Amino acid sequence: MVRATIVGGTGYTGVELLRLLLGHPGVEIVAVTSRAEAGTALADTFPNLRGRCSLVFTDPGNIPDCDVVFFATPNGTAMAQAPGLLDRGMRIIDLAADFRLRQVAEWEHWYRQPHACPELLAEAVYGLPELNRDRIRGARIVANPGCYPTAVALGFLPLVEARLLQPESLVADAKSGVTGAGRRRELGNMFSEVSDSFKAYAVGGHRHLPEIRQLLAGVAGAAVDLVFVPHLVPMLRGIHATLHARLRSDETDLQALFEARYRSEPFVDVLPADSHPDTRSVRGSNTCRIAVHRPPGAGRVVVLSVIDNLVKGAAGQAVQNMNLMFGLEESAGLSALALLP
Amino acid sequence: MVRATIVGGTGYTGVELLRLLLGHPGVEIVAVTSRAEAGTALADTFPNLRGRCSLVFTDPGNIPDCDVVFFATPNGTAMAQAPGLLDRGMRIIDLAADFRLRQVAEWEHWYRQPHACPELLAEAVYGLPELNRDRIRGARIVANPGCYPTAVALGFLPLVEARLLQPESLVADAKSGVTGAGRRRELGNMFSEVSDSFKAYAVGGHRHLPEIRQLLAGVAGAAVDLVFVPHLVPMLRGIHATLHARLRSDETDLQALFEARYRSEPFVDVLPADSHPDTRSVRGSNTCRIAVHRPPGAGRVVVLSVIDNLVKGAAGQAVQNMNLMFGLEESAGLSALALLP
Amino acid sequence: MVRATIVGGTGYTGVELLRLLLGHPGVEIVAVTSRAEAGTALADTFPNLRGRCSLVFTDPGNIPDCDVVFFATPNGTAMAQAPGLLDRGMRIIDLAADFRLRQVAEWEHWYRQPHACPELLAEAVYGLPELNRDRIRGARIVANPGCYPTAVALGFLPLVEARLLQPESLVADAKSGVTGAGRRRELGNMFSEVSDSFKAYAVGGHRHLPEIRQLLAGVAGAAVDLVFVPHLVPMLRGIHATLHARLRSDETDLQALFEARYRSEPFVDVLPADSHPDTRSVRGSNTCRIAVHRPPGAGRVVVLSVIDNLVKGAAGQAVQNMNLMFGLEESAGLSALALLP
Amino acid sequence: MVRATIVGGTGYTGVELLRLLLGHPGVEIVAVTSRAEAGTALADTFPNLRGRCSLVFTDPGNIPDCDVVFFATPNGTAMAQAPGLLDRGMRIIDLAADFRLRQVAEWEHWYRQPHACPELLAEAVYGLPELNRDRIRGARIVANPGCYPTAVALGFLPLVEARLLQPESLVADAKSGVTGAGRRRELGNMFSEVSDSFKAYAVGGHRHLPEIRQLLAGVAGAAVDLVFVPHLVPMLRGIHATLHARLRSDETDLQALFEARYRSEPFVDVLPADSHPDTRSVRGSNTCRIAVHRPPGAGRVVVLSVIDNLVKGAAGQAVQNMNLMFGLEESAGLSALALLP
């Protein structure tokens, strides 16, 4: 049994991680920490756990010896504790952004704080199994990808790897359910402000933009320009990335390209031609469903990529990474079907 | 008083037209037709009309003499009746698509039926007041624009007029509430199928694509290529068009350009720099709110354009056109504020 | 023109009052106060006001001379300022609860603070026009009813007036949209907590319970027992009160009773037998729609009563009261049809 | 392995049954029938099954030999096929209503058709495990309870068993998500008709009323009168039953009563005093969560009972019944936690 600790268990990625790990046959949860809720039962905060989990939140200052520590915390927490935990021989999966960007300066620019352990940025492995599966297996620190970057990267990956896109033509027009904003009590996340409405946000610059650029640049072997516009959808879960680009040529069979690229991937499902995935088809599951289209007009491609932002976009991908790191079946604990309707 | 008939009053654009015209100080509704509901009170179908409207649906075969006939019908109905009504001296505003495309062949391709009166296509005026105000004033037939084309056109207009965009770089990534799909009993419009979910549709070709292309080409004086991807949002009303393009140069002050273009428009509101309009800010109102952005990376522009699909995208714009046609105050009957929250 | 000030203009009842008063032909808004937002434009907080309202929030310490002051504030604010405003000859409509309960001790029990001006409790008129129309006309202070009490009272009124109900059999099972909880940043009002879910709350005692009891007892001329259970519905606006009771006898024609009682009421609409009003049929309007049922089984009555909590349940009823107080047409500024769909 | 057939696999209870059975360690699905979709892959209708289920819909006229047949069909289908299947030695779980009422005349009155096999009504066991566990184990035909009756019965059961309620005081004010209405293309189930709104329906008589009465009467040993008012909530899944009654006396500790009654039930969770369960706390799970309240005023009780209408209210309870019938662990295949948020 892999012994796991969750640091910061009161947010939505935390409770989703709990939901998945409590159903995982190869994991024992040894502690769940929360500064604010230390001493109270997890099931008091999350009633869906009643009768199924007798754990009590513990203080984050006191992480027990275990095999892996998941950080489901605000940005800046994991980097402060990582060196000490590594010294104790534990491995780390950070669901926040502390280890996602390779360049310290860029990280500090976007996250507006000094980085606590720049030396570990180089070591950390970006936890997108479809890209870095082998390196994840051996990693001490995995930077679990952001939700938007996961959906965008999986949609663009086959095209960028095959060098099919015109530079400076990439657009990621992405839409997220409200749980992506976390559990903070902000006006902009209140039901009465976002229900029955739709809006874009952060067009001037979202923290997932440098992450996506770094990711695609790494694949392309060259800088990649793209425009990234996130939007807020009045729904709980789900990301729908609509990806636009111009093709260098019209000759490639894109459907075949995508199917070949993801044939052996357990969590990427390439839909038949002319499909339009809906986010509910992945609700609660770790699957990314993708459709590739040639819209009317020459030289264009549109890719539709959907994930559950809390599963493949956060907790599920973290479990997938843990499975790889500890030699478990990659899909262990991740086999539940999407809840539809 | 302008005497008006509504043909096809049982759909959502029909009831919205009723809501607006019943509050219009210069209009008398003389008849509302419905083949299926002839003989029943309007208020029985739409309870919001109870106590405020004593009209009874009449048979569409029997349109009384009046000044203007609104067609809130499926495509193909208005063109069958238009010649006869014009002969009787009545003017026509078609909220469906019968008179939107200039080329008969293109119309017949997209709407999959022969056009009943091709000669009237040339005469009909495309009813976007911000583009064709003067011609609308004198028109016998106004083709009321589609909901997506309205939101997309108003967002691209200043940029296309100023020749600022690189050809073949235009993307209209548009999102609509479910009322845009009408009142048809289709599986894809059921609550249990679309609530708490998000999807694109018709990426392979939507009927509003040729309408948008024609519209922008007319402004540009040259063919315009663009990709149009519509999406379905789990909300009742609202369209959010996210418009992407590459700029020919970075020198123009886009904020000033938009403000100048729409300064005297009663129903286009250019937001301050760095704004993100939400669809609820126009719920129930005839306003289009627009924000123009320069996203990170050189040479790009992003425009956010929101309307209420049933008002500025249908019934409200029809009333605006009627006001122009009959010399009324352009905003008569259209002054209600958006319902927020 | 009635000159009006709104104290506390940043909540949902405040913005709704603004929406209604800006469209009212007989009112001039002279000031809108907000401690937190003093100095900023109203349209910056509420984008639906852009281009239609150039007012700037002013400090609440500085209320200008005017005819009427609306308090759209938290409980406890109006009672502190009321005496001074009355001395200056201004009249008051309190949309909060400061003047709703007649008994000081009961008020202090439920609102957990001392009452600042108990002598004014006796003078204040409970602003339910269907019950107190004449007294409202002459009132200096009107206590605008709570949203739940309005829906519940209008539903029970004909039955209680006619002494048809068995004592101790009354149940008000009421459901409200989320705007009823106001604009406070509380976890329980966040989209991710309440969307796609349903729950009861405050079964142990809600502040509207003593208000409903007082109201019905006043009508009955005797104490009235009832159970009141409020619920939260994942929708923006609307209250649906489902009222249950046992009848003293089965002989009365309840449909006729309700129709007679409300025949001349401009804002109460008794639906035909066997109807089920939906809250959307009153969205944005000041109407209360009611249906009365005899469910299977002898001796029972079920009344369904719907209002828009922000209109007939708050701002619209306040305008209706103002109209009465100042001798305006009772429905002035309140004629807009419900927004449906 | 239990070999199971699902008749009528294209509705929401059908796909939910598939979701649960595909994750059940002791079941093999041998066939899923659909007259309309025979020959097409299940995963084409329900994309959440892609990659996890290679079954193809077969014709319902051809049910293979197996251990158990689930009917997820419209009312009237199961009773036509039941005798033949029993003769072949197969057992039946009917998720529709064909075997729920004991009295033939009553069944024919409410379902408006002759009953095809009245003799089997007497044999069929009403599949509420908390009431009939032992009889279910040996049943050949299980009538799977309706969704409303399940929520209402579990909430009233301890009170009725203990003879604590005054006769003729029972009210079940129940609220359901829209999936409860099934997958029929009806106007009343369309997003644009029910979103952001709330309504009661069928106050004049709902088919679940006789089922609830029969159930409670069986427990009470006497006829039980109750008023049942169902409502439609703009959410996908979930039933919230708010149960009202008058107590014969105030002496019993109701919290202790409920806890004792359900202590050993795997799928009934009695919440601590003063709790308010939300439907999302059981989303996708087979649990019923219950809170019991003494509201202000003497002699009253309010019970709040929530289930997922598609799980404990349909497919999950069917699996629970199957587990009992075939000697499997009662919670096999039903251990997933609720999806929250």
Catalytic residue among B53, B66, B117, B147: B147
Q: What local confidence, expressed as pLDDT, does residue D20 receive?
A: 98
CB atoms within 10 A of CB A265: 16
For residues D125 and D135, give the distance between their C-alpha atoms in angstroms, rounded to a whole number. 7
Q: pTM, whole model, 2 decimals?
A: 0.97
Query: Is A340 domain-assigned?
Result: no
ipTM, two decimals, is: 0.97
Q: Across all residues in chain A, what is the average pLDDT?
A: 96
A22–D337 C-beta distance less than 8 A: yes
**What is B127-171 written as a DSSP string?**
--HHHHHHHHHT-SEEEPPPHHHHHHHHHHHHHHHTT-BPTT-EE
Does B101 reside within a domain? yes
B186 plus B106 within the same structural domain: no
- For residue B27, the distance in angstroms to the closest alpha carbon of chain C comes to 16
Question: Per residue of chain D (341 residues), what is the pLDDT tens digit?
Answer: 999 999 998 999 999 999 999 999 999 999 999 999 999 999 999 999 999 999 999 999 889 999 999 999 999 999 999 999 999 999 999 999 999 999 999 999 999 999 999 999 999 999 999 999 999 999 999 999 999 999 999 999 999 999 999 989 999 999 999 999 999 899 999 999 999 999 999 999 999 999 999 999 999 999 998 999 999 999 999 999 999 999 999 899 999 999 999 999 999 999 999 999 999 999 999 999 999 999 998 799 999 999 999 999 999 999 999 999 999 999 999 999 999 99
Mean pLDDT along residues A102-126: 96
Both C301 and C157 in one domain: the answer is yes
Q: Give the mean pLDDT of A257-269.
A: 98
Using a CB-CB distance cutoff of 8 angstroms, which residues of chain B are in contact with residue C19?
337, 339-340
Of A177, A196, A244, the CB nearest to B244: A244
Closest CA to D157 of D133, D128, D184, D191: D128
Please give the residue range of the domain that contains residue D105.
2-123
Catalytic (active site) residue B288: no
B237 within a domain of the structure (yes/no)? yes
Strand intervals (E) in D128-262: 141-143, 170-176, 199-200, 226-232, 239-246
Q: Which of A185, A195, A196 sits opposite C187 (nearest CB)?
A: A185
- Considering only CB atoms, B235 lies closest to which of A197, A231, A244, namely A197
Asked if A304 and B226 come within 8 Å (Cβ–Cβ), the reply is no
D288 and D182 share one domain: yes
Pair (C70, C163) in one structural domain:
no
Residue pLDDT, tens place only, A289-326:
999 999 998 799 999 999 999 999 999 999 999 999 99
pLDDT at residue number A297: 80
Residues of D in contact with B183 (CB under 8 A): 187, 190, 192
Domain presence at residue D325: no
Max distance between CA atoms of chain C, in angstroms, equals 62
CA atoms within 13 A on the CB side of A173: 31
- Of the candidates C5, C22, C113, C12, which has an alpha carbon nearest to the alpha carbon of residue C60? C5
Q: Is residue D134 domain-resident?
A: no
| Domain final residue, candidates B62, B88, B123 | B123
pLDDT of D297 reads 80
Please return the burial class of A65, using the count of CB atoms within 10 Å of its CB with bins 0-12, 13-18 and 19+: exposed
* pLDDT value, residue D306: 98
pLDDT in tens, A174-195: 999 999 999 989 999 999 999 9
pLDDT digits (tens, 9 = 90+) for B23-70: 999 999 999 999 999 999 999 999 999 999 999 999 998 899 999 999
Chain B: residues touching C (Cβ < 8 Å): 12, 15, 19, 22-23, 46-52, 179, 195-196, 236-237, 269, 271, 277-278, 280-285, 287, 289, 335-341
Give which of A1, D60, C16 is closest to D69, Cα–Cα: D60
Q: Residue D236 is nearest to which of A50, A179, A341, comparing CB atoms?
A: A341
pLDDT mean over C26-35: 96
Same domain, B279 and B164: yes
Question: Measured between alpha carbons, how far is A290 from B45 in angstroms, rounded to an integer?
Answer: 41
Residue-wise burial string across C264-291, b where 16 or more C-beta atoms lie within 10 A, e elsewhere: ebbbbbbbeeebbbbbbbbbbbbbbbbb
C183 and C85 housed in the same domain: no
- Asked whether residue D315 is domain-assigned, the answer is no
pLDDT for B21 = 98
> In the predicted model, what is the mean pLDDT of residues A19-37?
96
Contact (CB<8Å) A48/D337: yes
- Whichever domain contains B93, its CATH number is 3.40.50.720
Total tally of structural domains belonging to chain A: 2
Assess whether C20 and C97 both reside in one domain.
Answer: yes
Residues of C identified as active-site:
147
Q: Which of D184, D187, D192, D283 to mutate to test the interface with B (most CBs of B within 10 A)?
A: D192
**pLDDT at residue C298 in the model:** 78
Overall average pLDDT of the B158-163 stretch: 97
CATH of the domain at B234: 3.30.360.10
Cα gap A290→A293, rounded to integer Å? 10
**pLDDT band at A153, cuts 50/70/90?**
very high
Cis, peptide link before residue A341, omega less than 30° from 0: yes
Q: Please tell me the predicted confidence (pLDDT) of residue B297.
A: 80
Same domain, A29 and A163: no
Tens of pLDDT, residue by residue over D137-161, are 999 999 999 999 999 999 999 999 9
Question: Within this chain, do residues C112 and C155 fall inside the same structural domain, yes or no?
Answer: no
Is residue A333 one of the residues assigned to a domain? no
Residue C109's CB is within 10 A of a number of other CB atoms, namely 11
Residue type, C7: V
Continuous segment of H or E residues that includes residue C135: helix C129-137
Q: Are residues C79 and C209 in the same domain?
A: no
Dump pLDDT digits (tens) for B210-234: 999 999 999 999 999 899 999 999 9
The C-alpha angle C291, C296, C301, rounded to 5 degrees, equals 40
**In what helix (H) or strand (E) does residue A128 lie, and over which residues does it extend?**
none
For residue A133, tell me if it sits in a domain.
no
Q: Could you give the residue numbers annotated as active site of D?
A: 147
Same-domain pairing of C74 and C162: no
Is the pLDDT at C167 greater than 90? The verdict is: no
**How confident is the model over C127-143, as a mean pLDDT?**
98
The per-residue pLDDT for C103 is 95
Residues C172 and C100 in one domain: no
**Euclidean distance between CA atoms C97 and B252, whole angstroms:** 55
Reduced to 3 states (helix: H, G, I; strand: E, B; else coil), residue B200 is strand
Model confidence at C297: pLDDT above 90: no
User: Of the candidates D88, D123, D158, which is a domain's last residue?
Assistant: D123
Which of A10, A18, A50, A307 is the best mutation test for D, with the most CBs of D within 10 A?
A50
